[in-house]
Amino acid sequence: MNKYSIKRLLGVCLSFALLAACTNGERTETLQSPDGQLSLTTGVKDGKAYYSLARGTEALIHPSNLGFTLKDGPLNGDFRVKDVKRTSSDETWMQPWGEEIEVRNHYNELTLNLEERSGLRRNLSVVFRLFDDGLGFRYFFPEQENLKEFVIMDEETEYALPWDARTWSIPTNGTKYYEGVYTAAPISRKDTVSTPITLEVNDSLYMTLHEANLTDYASLNLTPKGEGETAVTIRAALTPWSTGEKVFATAPFVTPWRTVIVARKPGDLILSRLMLNLNEPCRIEDTSWIEPGRYIGIWWGMHMEKYTWAQGPKHGATTANTMRYIDFAARHGFSGVLVEGWNYGWDGDWTRDGDKFSFTRAYPDYDLKKLADYARQKGLRLIAHNETGGAAVNYEQQLDSAYTLYRSLGINAVKTGYVNPMLDHKELQHSQYGVRHYRKVIETAARYGIMVDNHEPAMPSGLQRTYPNLMTQEGVRGQEYDAWSADGGNQPEHTCIIPFTRGLAGPMDFTPGTFNFTNPVYPGTRVQTTIAKQLALNVVLFSPLQMASDMIENYEGRPEFSFITSCPTTWAKTVVPDAKIGEYVVIARKDRNSENWFVGCITNRESREIKLALDFLDADASYKATLYRDSKDADYENNPYPVVISEQEVNAGTVLNLPLARGGGAAIRIEKI
C-alpha cells in the first residue's frame, strides 16, 4: 500500500471516529472572552459534562465535572450534546448608587444543551458567559415531560485547580452569620468554606470563586475533595434543609451563577463588576426614593451597657434621647438616625422568643410619630430597626402592617436582624428556606418604597442590581466585635483582608467610626486601629448606607470628625492605586455629586510608608487636599488617638508620601479648586 492510500485510509478512519463521537453526543466547544485572553472549553466526554478555563496558555481550571444528584437519581452522566447556541452582548447600564455610575456588561455566551442518552432522556442546559475578567455559568432545567417537580440532593459542580493555592476564606462549620476571621492557607488544608473565597496563586494571578443571583436556591459552600501539592479539586456543598434536601424546584428552573473572577492584581478583584452583570436588570421603575446616606444610631451605647434595648431605667430608645441624636445628626449633615430597642419584644430571651416582637407597637417612653415628624422637620429620617430573633414567619406576618406604618410616617429605611442561627427554630439562615424569606422581605420593602439594611443575611450575590433598595448587608465580622468579642476585637489585618473576600460579594455594613476605645464592660476588648484608620475605613469599605458607630458625645470637639461628615457614600468612579491582601489597601473614589475625590489608606499591624500618585485626578486642574494622618508617635496599641490634619495644593502629577502607623491609616479629601 502506498503512502497516499495509507493517508486516505487514516482520514476515513478519523472521519468515522468523529462521526461516532458526534453520534454519541461527545463534543468539544470553545469560547473566548471579548479581549481573547480567557478561553473556556466545554463539552461531553464519556457521558460526563465538563468545562475548563485558561488564560492564554496558563490553565486556571482543569476539566471539571458538572451535574446533579436528584432525589430520584443522578443527573450527572450518560449525556450527549443536543446542540450548542452562542451569543454575545456589549451594553452599558447605569447604577442608581454604587462604586461608579456606569457599568459595562460585555461578554460572549455559549449554551450547552444536554440530553440523557437513555432512561428518562432528561434535558439539562449549562449557560456560560465569559467576560474579560472572568467566568459565570449556571444550569437551566427546561420544562419537560420527565422532569417537572424535582429535588436537588447535591450539586456536583467541581473546580479542578492546577495548584494548591493560598486561599483566603472562612469556615462554614462553626461560623455564625458569616461573621468569621478570614485566614490564608493552601486550599487542600481547608474544611468546607463559605464563598466568596480568594485564591492568591502567584504575583500575577488572583481568583475569587462565588455566586451571583442567589434566587430560590441554597447558598454555596465549597469543599476540597483531597490533598495534593500540585492540584486540588473543590466541589459545591449546598446549605441543606433540616430534612437533608438542598433545593426544591419546579421546571423551568435556573440555578444561581457560579462565578470565577480572574485578575492580575488584588485591586482588580475589587474593580470587577462580573457579579453585578450576572444579576437581572433593575425591577424598580422609579428609583428616585432610594437615597444613599450616612447616619448615626443609638447602638454603640447598648454595647457599652450605658443603655439597654429593653425597657428599664437605662432604656436607650427614649423620646428625649432620640431627639438628642436627631439634633446632633441635623447639625452635622447626617441623613438619618437608627434607633434600636424602640419596639415591644426585647424583654426576656428574645433570641428564643422572637415571635413576641412587634414591629408596629412602640414602648411607652418612645413616641414614634412625634420622633418621625421631628426628624423630618430637621431634614432627615428615622431608620426603623426590625430585629426578628430569627422568627421569620412572625416577621412575614407583620411586613405589610409595619411597612404601611413606616411609609405613613415618612420612614423609608429599615435595618433587619436575625440573631439566631436557625430561622423559626428549624432551618439554617443560608438554606433555601432563608433565601426565600430574605427575598420576600426585599421585594415587599420595594413595593412600599423602603430601603433595607439586612443583618445576619444570606451572603450577598449582587441582588442590589435588581432591587437597589437592598442597600447594604452585614454578613461580616464588623465593628461590633470591638465591643465584646472574647478574642480582644478585630485584629489590624482584618480590614486589609475583607475588601478582597466578603467585600467582593457586595456592600458591607461594617459600621466604622468609633472614636473612644475605652471599654468599661470588656476592658480586654477594644478597637485595634488608630483614629486615622477609622476615618480611612469610610472610603475603603463600601456601603451606600454607612453608620458612624460611636455615641455622639464621643464626636464632640473632635476636628477629625469633619472627614466622616464630609465623606459621601455613593461614587462616580473607583480606583485602587495599590493593595496587598492582608497587608495594606489604598482606594480612591470620586464623589458622585461633585468633582471631589476621597482616599482611604490602611495598613495591618506593620507600619509602612505609602507613595500615592494622584494621577487619577484631572490633568489640567488644581485641587486642595486635606490630609488626616497618624501622628509620628501614633500606634494602634499604645497611642491610637493622635491625628495630624494638614492642607496642601495638589494636581495629577503630585506624589504624596503617607506614613502609616502600626494599625494605622490616612484619609484624604481632595477638592477641585
Tell me the CA distances in angstroms from 571 to 283, 292, 595, one per residue in order. 22, 10, 11
Indicate whether 473 belongs to any domain: no
pLDDT at 396 over 60: yes
C-alpha cell at 634: 501614633
DSSP 635: B
Domain boundary among 239, 257, 277: 277
Element (H, E) at 94: strand 79-94
pLDDT tens for each residue of 571-590: 999 999 999 999 999 999 99
pLDDT at 10: 38
Please tell me the distance from the alpha carbon of residue 207 to that of residue 169, in angstroms, as a whole number.
Answer: 12
Share of the chain above pLDDT 70, in %: 96
Cell matching residue 68: 446533579
pLDDT per residue over 432-463, tens digit each?
A: 999 999 999 999 999 999 999 999 999 999 99
Summarize pLDDT for 253-293 with one digit per residue, the tens.
Answer: 999 999 999 999 999 999 999 999 999 999 999 999 999 99
Half-sphere exposure in the Cβ direction for 172 (13 Å, CA): 25
For the chain, how many structural domains are there in total?
Answer: 2
649 pLDDT higher than 50: yes
pLDDT in tens, 308-355: 999 999 999 999 999 999 999 999 999 999 999 999 999 999 999 999
Give a yes or no: residue 205 inside a domain.
yes
CA of 126: how far to CAs of 51, 112, 386, in Å? 10, 5, 39
pLDDT reported for residue 230:
78
Fill in the DSSP letter of residue 123. Answer: E
| DSSP strands (E only) in 493-642 | 545-548, 571-580, 584-591, 597-603, 608-613, 623-630
Q: What is the mean pLDDT of the chain?
A: 95
DSSP label of 632: T
Whole-number pLDDT of residue 229: 64
Given 244, 277, 310, the domain boundary residue is 277
Q: Residue 18: pLDDT above 70?
A: no
- What is the chain's length? 673
Give 174's contacts (C-beta < 8 A, 6+ positions apart). Answer: none
Host domain of residue 223:
13-277
> How confident is the model at residue 38, as a pLDDT?
98
Which CATH number belongs to the domain containing residue 534 in this structure? 3.20.20.70
Q: What is the pLDDT of residues 118-157, one digit of tens each?
A: 999 999 999 999 999 999 999 999 999 999 999 999 999 9
Contact in structure between 189 and 166 (CB atoms under 8 Å):
no
Three-state DSSP at 230 gives: coil
* Gap between the Cα atoms of 611 and 588, Å rounded: 13
Asked if 227 is an active-site residue, the reply is no
Q: What is the CATH number of the domain that holds 224?
A: 2.70.98.10
Q: Which three cell numbers stand for residue 359?
A: 414591629
The pLDDT of 198-226, averaged and rounded, is: 96
Residue 553 within any structural domain of the chain: no
Choose one of 277, 297, 325: the last residue of a domain: 277
Residue with cell 428615622: 382
When pLDDT is averaged across residues 184-208 and rounded to a whole number, the result is 97
Residue 226 has a pLDDT of 66
Residues β-bridged to residue 623: 650, 672
DSSP conformational letter for 368? H
Could you read off the pLDDT of 225-243 as tens digits, one per residue? 865 567 999 999 999 999 9
pLDDT mean over 94-106: 98
Angle at 409 between CA 403 and CA 415, to 5 degrees: 50
Q: What is the DSSP letter of 307?
A: S
Residues of the chain with pLDDT > 90: what percent?
95
Nearest CA-CA partner of 86 in 137, 31, 36, 37 = 31
Structure confidence at residue 356 (pLDDT): 97
Cα(first)–Cα(last) distance of the chain, in Å?
Answer: 87
pTM summary value: 0.95
Distance in angstroms (rounded) separating the CA atoms of residues 532 and 513: 10
Q: Is residue 635 part of a domain?
A: yes
305 within some domain: no
Report pLDDT for 3.
43
Domain presence at residue 286 = no
Q: What is the CA radius of gyration of the chain?
A: 27
Specify the DSSP element, H or E, that contains 267. Answer: helix 266-271
CB atoms within 10 A of CB 646: 9
Residue 282 · residue 468 · CB < 8 Å: yes
CA quadruple 339, 345, 349, 353: dihedral positive or negative?
negative
Whether residue 371 has pLDDT greater than 60: yes
Q: Are strands 381-387 and 336-339 parallel, antiparallel or unpaired?
A: parallel
User: Active site residue: 480, 553, 637, 649, which one?
Assistant: 480
Q: In this model, does residue 466 exceed pLDDT 90?
A: yes
pLDDT score, position 228: 58
pLDDT at 24 over 90: no
492, amino acid identity: P
d(CA 240, CA 364): 42
Mean pLDDT of 412-417: 98
Chain segment 501-558, per-residue pLDDT in tens? 999 999 999 999 999 999 999 999 999 999 999 999 999 999 999 999 999 999 999 9
Q: Is residue 162 part of a domain?
A: yes
What is the pLDDT averaged over residues 466-480?
Answer: 98
**184, β-bridge pairs:** 168
- Please say if the pLDDT value at position 31 is more than 80: yes
Which candidate, 25, 26, 55, places its Cα nearest to that of 40?
Answer: 55
pLDDT over 70 at 561, yes or no: yes
Q: Flag whether 334 is in a domain.
A: no
SS3 content of the chain, % helix, strand, coil (to 5): 20, 40, 40
Are the CB atoms for 438 and 448 separated by under 8 Å? no
